[in-house]
């Protein structure tokens, strides 16, 4: 470089932005690198970054070389010699816009056109096997985390979470031969920036009835018993049917989840939803009939009355 050109550069204000256009994911931290040059006979006292949100210039001054570090999300990380870089922590959507610099509090010394920041959200794309969006046991579901700052080349490192617990690393999460245990809320984030969480994707796996069983509750000692049919299903059980096994036949005796039984015998319940059905195991009941109980009570009363009459006769004699 010739002496005359070198002298000219040293006696003018100049700012160089290493990146004119910067893209960042909401929640991440971003550095805006820049360098500046100033006349040798001028002492740089203050460097201020400004955020311009619209035209004409309307915005605010957000960070200064003289401000205490750590007071805001905007931190000046340069110096007063050549480095004028700015760091933004936990980027927000409204941080998008243009950024400019001024020196020594004089707006006339605001060289360069500044740089622009674009803030984007992580997006999750879901591939489901059925057009109606239903996910059933045995299906396969693919989830893809996208950072539009990458321009589709998957250069970012991603971490997947299920119900806020990390489960996988990589841009894609494949859920094959899916079961009800895969139901939950899924999100992805940039591995290096945990605050960059995507929107929640709810995976709701539907399945037929499972673990169908009958519980027994005694209502009145020895006379009647309540049977309760329970089952796990998604969607919930739509149809309940109670059966009594009589010899080689099965008799339909009820259609509610709770059945009041007054007869001895072998009972089971059958449940169903749109994905299937399941039967419980057979429950055997031994119930004393109301007639037997009444006969016993009458006999007891008769004996007591006879004894009483006998005592009266003996007393009279």
**10-residue mean pLDDT series, the chain (317 residues):** 43 83 93 88 84 61 64 83 90 91 61 81 92 91 93 83 96 95 96 91 96 85 81 96 91 92 90 96 79 45 60 61
Please provide the CATH number assigned to the domain covering 207-286. Answer: 2.60.40.10
Global confidence as pTM: 0.75
User: Whole-angstrom Cα distance, residue 256 to residue 251?
Assistant: 15
Topology of 123-203 in CATH? Answer: Immunoglobulin-like (2.60.40)
CA dist 142 and 72 (Å) reads: 40
Q: Indicate the CATH number for domain 3-120.
A: 2.60.40.10
Res 303: pLDDT: 63
Q: Do residues 112 and 84 touch, judged by C-beta distance below 8 A?
A: no
Helix (H) or strand (E) holding 70: none
Q: Is 317 exposed, middle or buried (0-12, 13-18, 19+ CB in 10 A)?
A: exposed
- Which pLDDT score, from 0 to 100, does residue 281 have? 95
Please, where are the H alpha helices in the chain? 3-10, 290-316
Structure tokens at 41: 């006979």
How many CA atoms lie within 13 Å of 94's alpha carbon, on the beta-carbon side?
3
The pLDDT of residue 293: 40
């Amino acid at each position: 470089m010739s002496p005359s050109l070198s002298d000219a550069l040293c006696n003018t204000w100049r700012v160089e932005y290493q990146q004119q256009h910067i893209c960042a994911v909401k929640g991440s931290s971003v550095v805006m690198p820049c360098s500046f040059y100033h006349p040798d006979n001028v002492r740089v006292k203050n460097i201020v970054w400004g955020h311009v949100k619209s035209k004409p210039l309307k915005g605010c001054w957000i960070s200064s070389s003289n401000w205490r570090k750590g007071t805001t999300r905007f931190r000046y990380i340069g110096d007063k010699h050549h480095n004028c870089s700015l760091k933004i922590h936990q980027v927000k959507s409204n941080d998008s816009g243009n950024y400019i610099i001024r020196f020594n509090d004089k707006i006339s010394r605001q060289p360069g056109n500044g740089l622009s920041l674009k803030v984007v959200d992580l997006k999750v794309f879901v591939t489901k096997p059925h057009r109606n969006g239903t996910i059933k046991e045995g299906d396969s579901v693919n989830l893809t985390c996208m950072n539009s700052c990458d321009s589709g080349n998957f250069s970012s490192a991603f971490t997947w979470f299920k119900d806020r617990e990390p489960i996988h690393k990589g841009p894609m999460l494949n859920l094959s031969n899916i079961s009800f245990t895969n139901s939950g809320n899924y999100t992805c984030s940039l591995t290096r920036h945990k605050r960059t969480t995507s929107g929640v994707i709810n995976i709701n796996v539907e399945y037929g009835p499972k673990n169908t069983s009958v519980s027994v509750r005694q209502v009145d000692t020895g006379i009647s018993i309540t049977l309760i049919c329970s089952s796990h299903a998604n969607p919930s059980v739509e149809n309940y049917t109670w059966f009594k096994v009589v010899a080689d036949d099965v008799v339909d005796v009820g259609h509610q989840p709770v059945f009041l039984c007054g007869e001895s015998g072998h009972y089971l319940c059958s449940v169903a939803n749109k994905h299937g059905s399941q039967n419980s195991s057979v429950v055997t009941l031994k119930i004393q009939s109301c007639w037997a109980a009444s006969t016993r009570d009458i006999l007891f009363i008769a004996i007591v009355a006879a004894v009483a009459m006998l005592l009266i006769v003996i007393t009279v004699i």
